[in-house]
Amino acid sequence: MVGVGLSTLLVAGVIVFAGHVVKGVSGFGSALFAVPLLLLILDVRIVTPTFLLFDLTSGILLVASNWRSIDRRLLLLLLSGMIVGTGMGTWALLSFGHETLKRVLGVLVTGWAVVMLLGREPETIAPHGGMGAALAPLSGLLGGALGAMFSVNGPPIIIYLSQVLKDKQAFRATLCGIFFADACYKLVLFSLGGLLDRRVFTLAALLAPFLVAGVIAGSYVQRFLDQTVFRRVVAAMLAVTGLLLLV
């Protein structure tokens, strides 16, 4: 129905399930975990738009329930860079072949996995100071470009917001807000670029049950997991996946 065999579809379902277990445990990271694995069996021009539909669906619910806690100034600063970055990433998705983009993601995922394994965090940045304000558009630009190419816009934005917003509710709400705004913008760009077709909508519908099951399972098991150990296990798996993408 989507141009892939049943076995490939089932493997994709297991990957989506595992990615959303990660999201259920940590609150984010579904695309960072699942997309590199999915690129080993599916084309990037199918995977990225499918995750866009997932992001839109979850984003509506998350933004509606966290609207009042969003740091609107930081949101606008991030968006100022993200608008440019998402446009650049969409152009790259339409212009470059699957193998080239897969290897780019392999480098990025491997690097992010190393950072996670080292467990190093930069010094706290004042959110409304000169440096904090200047870094926001840059973080938005990098996140927008990565999000448009691979649906993996999290790392640059998460790193930035984790350093400028120490209130957990404000961090989570602003993160949800910027991801949802980016998803809405990508919806327009992807539609204009012809990336949203029947195959993508069908694949998203078929994989949706795996997504829901993964979030539920992750939300349950997170009560019993040591977060530090879990983070390192995920980082190790990302490192292996990143290397596989480079082969």
Q: What is the pLDDT of residue 187?
A: 92
Residue 125 reports pLDDT greater than 50? no
- Taking residue 19's Cβ as centre, other Cβ atoms within 10 Å add up to 27
Of 43 and 4, the one with more pLDDT: 43
DSSP 124: P
Rounded to the nearest integer, the mean pLDDT of the chain is 81
pLDDT band at 122 (very low <50, low <70, confident <90, very high): very low
Burial (CB count <10 Å: 0-12, 13-18, 19+), residue 156: buried
Phi, psi values for residue 5, rounded to 5°: -75, 165
Q: What is the pLDDT of residue 161?
A: 83
Q: What is the mean pLDDT of residues 133-161?
A: 82
The CA distance from 73 to 133, in Å, is: 9
* CA distances for 139 relative to 5, 12, 55, angstroms: 38, 30, 19
The CA distance from 75 to 196, in Å, is: 27
Closest CA to 133 of 111, 160, 114, 158: 160
pLDDT tens column, 14-59? 999 998 887 777 666 678 788 888 988 999 889 999 989 988 887 7
Q: What is the pLDDT of residue 8?
A: 92
pLDDT tens column, 83-121? 999 999 899 988 888 788 888 878 877 887 787 777 654
User: 85-89, 179-183, 230-234 — which one is most confidently predicted on average?
Assistant: 85-89
Q: Which residues contact 97 (CB under 8 A, 6 or more apart)?
A: none
pLDDT band at 123 (very low <50, low <70, confident <90, very high): very low
